[in-house]
Structure 1
Amino acid sequence: MEPPGPRARRVVERTERLTSTSFLRQYPFVMKSGKGAILEDVDGNRYIDMNAGIAVLALGTAPDPVVRAIARAASRFTHYSYTDFYYEGIPRLAAELARITPGGFRKRVYFGNSGAEATEAAMKLTRYHSRRPRFLAFTGAFHGRTMGALSLTASKPVQVRGFSPLVPGVEHVPYPYCYRCPFGKTFPDCGFFCVDFIEDQLFRRHVPPDEVAAFFVEPIQGEGGYVVPPDGYFGRLKRLIEPHGIALVDDEIQAGMGRTGRWFAMEHFGVEPDVVLVAKAIASGLPLSAMIARDELMDWPPGSHASTFGGNPVAVEAALATIRTMRRMRVLENAERVGEHMMRRLEEMRERYEVVGDVRGKGLMIGVELVRDKSSREPSPEAARRVVDYSWRHGVLLITAGVSTLRFAPPLVITEELADEALDVVEEGMREADAEERRRRDPRDRRVFANV
């Protein structure tokens, strides 16, 4: 039926009446059940999932091996706090994460519950180890909404408005967003001017590098618009900050766990970070996060940081089952193959529709930025909303990132056939959005759209 159906409307009404006003939802989809990349709402409508629960469900909804692992673990015990005691799953998962994260050096792992907690842990660890008060992060970054993580976040004003003062000592610098270079330059002729800017404008003028504990980076920006940096950028950045003793903290919360066709997105850029942050897809939807750091960094004393629920035994077993199943099903290879197929189709749409300004991504982390027209590159959030709304009304769950970017982050098990079916729907929405933008540009309609 036409969504939202009657049951969905009732759930939405009760939710809006009884829960926090701080949540922002893009459309009234009410989940009932699902399997893999197919979901069903409470009124019986079925959808192709292009969200994966915001890049969480790498194996899709309710993967059988993970569900069985959860049931076995829950039947033994559901909690006993690894911060005070021990259980077998913790060292097994820590060893797995140390094995698959970039860097052949010795590592230690801290377990929490969420991405924001992992960010907070990394802030505390790098500040404690270095005895330095400052941090660097990027404009467009999203590292979480707790006070420390929020201080690093620079994605949307609504996320910080009204919450100051934030944690002091954080400086933001431009991300290498080549489609919208803040310096008006073009890669590769720019010679990584955005890295030179950090050295010339920050380190030489007002941020002593020997006071900076860590630089927090997203290897591919998530909430900022699924922005992919140019090859060589992170190598150049690491060469700048490493001599100053600044730790590189790699936030893989959205880009990691196979989403880009590698275990971690930073692997595409050939850089070994000092700290890696993982959450979202690590446990197929159960709350779990991890901070994996160089052994020598983790010198904080017992009692200095902990979490009652972090490393929950059921979530840990879900994570171990997730990693095993990802290997067995070869989902990294599938993400790379299907991602390349989707990129080709989306590039074809870019050629056909004036509203499609940029297509970028790696694996199944793909952004399509919609604009008023290709020459002006003016963002079109209205076009993005139109495509998202059309898609969910016709059976595809899709959301946005940044100002006007369509965010494609399906389960890593999705097939080319199912991806094509979803893209057929998205393209129809794109066609409508393109026609609407053409009407806006038509001089005969200038009076009608003057104030839009």
Structure 2
Amino acid sequence: MSLIADLAEPAPTPGTAILRRQRVRESAARTYARSFPIVPVRAHGMTVEGADGRRYLDCLSGAGTLALGHNHPVVLAAIRRTLDSGAPLHLLDLATAEKDDFTTALLESLPAEFAARARVHFCGPAGTDAVEAALKLMQTATGRRGTLAFTGAYHGMTAGALAVTGNVAVKEPLPSGGEVTRLPYPYSYRCPFGLGGPAGERLAAVYTERLLDDPSGGVVRPAAMILEAVQGEGGAVPAPDGWLREMRRITAERGIPLIVDEVQTGVGRTGAMWAVQHSGIVPDAMVLSKAIGGSLPLAVVVYREEYDGWRPGAHTGTFRGNTLAMAAGAATLRYVAEHRLADRAEQVGRFLVRELTALQTRLPVIGEVRGRGLMIGVELVDAAAELDACGARPADPALGLRVREACLERGLIVELGGRHDAVLRLLPPLTISDEQAGAVVERLAEAVEAASEPR
């Protein structure tokens, strides 16, 4: 090969070679690897360093898994302590000191009224398996089969969880996963009734109640209702507290168990330890994963003891006994509580929402900024289009892709979500500093401005 050719085609770096092998070896279902073509080699707190030496502020945090950020000292100490102790790392569902400690920490963190009469079931180490377990549990307890779920919902990718998920694109190629009645979630910016605000919220509750009571409504009394207090993949859409209280009243009066999916909202993310605490509702079951494992795989269902009608082996999983995750998770739960990181999430979240909302005046492609705590969505729209009945413009997914890329160029990792993949989702760690929060706003503003310039 000539010297000119050598200069024109520099040798690939270790990072580019790894990325090339990943494209060849791994499945076409890759997601984040497509969005962020980087090879992380080190990470601490909110900072990720790539193989190319570049540093990024991580506003993805393992899709909300890293409550304390990457490699937090308290997590690393818990893992090292467990490894050095010689504790067995895998024991199915046998009792261990680590499991006992985690269960204690978990129950102490939950709302007292719920925890006082709760049972904990350890699942396979992913939120979707915990959703499957919760659905099976309520089917067993009630002898019924149907489920009430909501527009915009995301509960996982296995059959039952996918059936109650709202995203049509991932459901279309597959057979039905069961009888699901889809109800309207109160998404004010794109209200399903074209009203928005308190009027849309009230109508969503009235519709649900009337449908369930209509003898010709087509809905057989279901085994459960499942919902998210803040829809994550659905676009960081918080449920109004009043609407949540109505869902609890409606289900309680009709003997329908209420399952709240706190996989992404839990462990301080929304400004409370658990998102249900904002509304004060007490569900019949909570599905927990992500941050409860302190960055390692762990998932559980916590439910009221009267539903504990399972026979031994009714829902099992080989990796439901992850000792390291239990140790890391217990340390994380206690650290978040002791250092009041839920309050910190509320404080920084208010700052981010305020600053990002202020950008709308000079960046009209920002349709809405919303969220709760450090679970924030920035919806990108076509600024030249007409407003709809709720005052919203059409989503602009192409702009979303450009903004995500522009963010990465500026050292900011932000993923997309929402109905049309046009919502920038911010999920920074609860340990984010004031300086980092300011940098997120600055880099995001620069990225939106650059990506929305005429092409």
Q: TM-score, normalised by structure 2?
A: 0.90
Determine the structure 1 residue equivalent to 2:355. 345
**Structure 2, unaligned stretches of length 5 or more?**
1-11, 388-392
Of 411, 420, 424, the residue aligned with 1:395 is 411
Determine the structure 2 residue equivalent to 1:118. 130
Q: Which portions of structure 1, spanning 4 or more consecutive aligned residues, are displaced by more than 4 angstroms?
A: none
- Superposed, 1:212-251 pairs within 5 Å as 212-251=222-261
Determine the structure 1 residue equivalent to 2:37. 28
Q: What value does the CA root-mean-square deviation take over the aligned residues? A: 1.7
Aligned residues of 2:294 and 2:331 also touching (Cα < 8 A):
no
Of 385, 388, 400, the residue aligned with 1:384 is 400
Shift of 1:253: 0.5
Aligned residues of 1:115 and 1:280 also touching (Cα < 8 A):
yes
Q: Residues of 2 paired with 1:387 and 1:326: CA distance?
A: 32
Q: Residues of 1 paired with 2:112 and 2:153: CA distance?
A: 24
Counterpart AA for 1:315: A
- Superposed, 1:310-389 pairs within 5 Å as 310-373=320-383, 375-376=386-387, 377-389=393-405
1:124-177 Cα offsets, whole Å, 9 max, x none, are 1010011111111111111000111111111241x123221x322112112111
Counterpart AA for 1:154: G
Q: Residues of 2 paired with 1:191 and 1:309: CA distance?
A: 41
Determine the structure 2 residue equivalent to 1:412. 430
Aligned residues of 1:58 and 1:281 also touching (Cα < 8 A):
yes
- Give the secondary structure class of the aligned counterpart of 2:356: helix
Determine the structure 1 residue equivalent to 2:275. 265
Q: TM-score, normalised by structure 1?
A: 0.91
- Superposed, 1:17-166 pairs within 5 Å as 17-24=24-31, 25-75=34-84, 76-83=86-93, 85-104=94-113, 105-112=116-123, 113-157=125-169, 159-164=170-175, 166=176
Counterpart AA for 1:99: E
The total of aligned residue pairs comes to 429
Aligned residues of 2:45 and 2:71 also touching (Cα < 8 A):
yes
1:62-87 Cα offsets, whole Å, 9 max, x none, are 0111112112223313434242x221
1:178-203 Cα offsets, whole Å, 9 max, x none, are 11011111322346111221233354
- Give the secondary structure class of the aligned counterpart of 1:68: helix
Q: Residues of 1 paired with 2:120 and 2:179: CA distance?
A: 26
The percentage of counterpart residues that share the same residue type is 35
Higher mean alpha-carbon deviation, 374-383 vs 296-305, is at 374-383
Q: Residues of 2 paired with 1:38 and 1:198: CA distance?
A: 44
Q: Residues of 2 paired with 1:389 and 1:191: CA distance?
A: 35
- Give the secondary structure class of the aligned counterpart of 2:194: coil
Q: Residues of 1 paired with 2:200 and 2:409: CA distance?
A: 43
- Superposed, 1:250-329 pairs within 5 Å as 250-329=260-339
Over 3 Å counting, the alpha-carbon distance change for 1:80 and 1:27 in structure 2 is: closer
Counterpart AA for 2:190: R
Aligned residues of 1:288 and 1:312 also touching (Cα < 8 A):
yes
- Give the secondary structure class of the aligned counterpart of 2:230: coil
Over 3 Å counting, the alpha-carbon distance change for 1:137 and 1:429 in structure 2 is: same
Determine the structure 2 residue equivalent to 1:170. 180
1:75-118 Cα offsets, whole Å, 9 max, x none, are 313434242x2211223222322222235141010112110011
Q: Residues of 1 paired with 2:316 and 2:231: CA distance?
A: 28
Determine the structure 1 residue equivalent to 2:390. none
Q: Residues of 2 paired with 1:280 and 1:232: CA distance?
A: 27
1:15-52 Cα offsets, whole Å, 9 max, x none, are 11111211223131221111101110111110111111
Shift of 1:327: 2.6
Counterpart AA for 1:421: A
Shift of 1:56: 0.7
- Give the secondary structure class of the aligned counterpart of 2:38: coil
Q: Residues of 2 paired with 1:368 and 1:228: CA distance?
A: 13
Q: Residues of 2 paired with 1:26 and 1:422: CA distance?
A: 18
Counterpart AA for 1:36: G
Aligned residues of 1:78 and 1:312 also touching (Cα < 8 A):
no
Counterpart AA for 2:27: S
Counterpart AA for 1:108: R
Aligned residues of 1:341 and 1:416 also touching (Cα < 8 A):
no
Determine the structure 2 residue equivalent to 1:448. none
**Structure 1, unaligned stretches of length 5 or more?**
440-452
Q: Residues of 2 paired with 1:337 and 1:16: CA distance?
A: 41
